[in-house]
Amino acid sequence: MSRREIVEIGHPVLRERARDVTREELRSGEVQGLIDDMIEIMRAANGAGLAANQVAETLRIAVAEVRPGNPRYPYKPRSRSP
């Protein structure tokens, strides 16, 4: 389980401008670990997306996913197989 937590509204990091991530940084184990943590945190919160600044990292990274059966989005139709 990730040790990172979603910061609350009013946290100063949410007002900071996130910086771009270079290709080299994106390939790094550190940034890939952050992305893995963000996915884990987003899923644990039943979210559909999460930006890095929401876990107190000022990097321009976001993850998004709406999984079938997510209780926060009951109106989302289930996917149909092609």
Tens digit of each residue's pLDDT (9 = 90 or more) over 11-25: 999 999 999 999 999
- Residue 32 above 70 pLDDT? yes
Q: What pLDDT is recorded for position 76?
A: 72
Closest CA to 11 of 51, 44, 52, 54: 54
The pair of structure tokens assigned to 56 is: 């107190």
pTM assigned to the model: 0.82
In the chain, where the domains are located:
12-64
Q: What pLDDT is recorded for position 74?
A: 77
What is the C-alpha to C-alpha distance for residues 49 and 77, in angstroms, rounded to an integer?
18
φ and ψ of 67, to 5 deg: -90, 145
Rg (CA), the chain: 14
What is the C-alpha to C-alpha distance for residues 63 and 34, in angstroms, rounded to an integer?
11
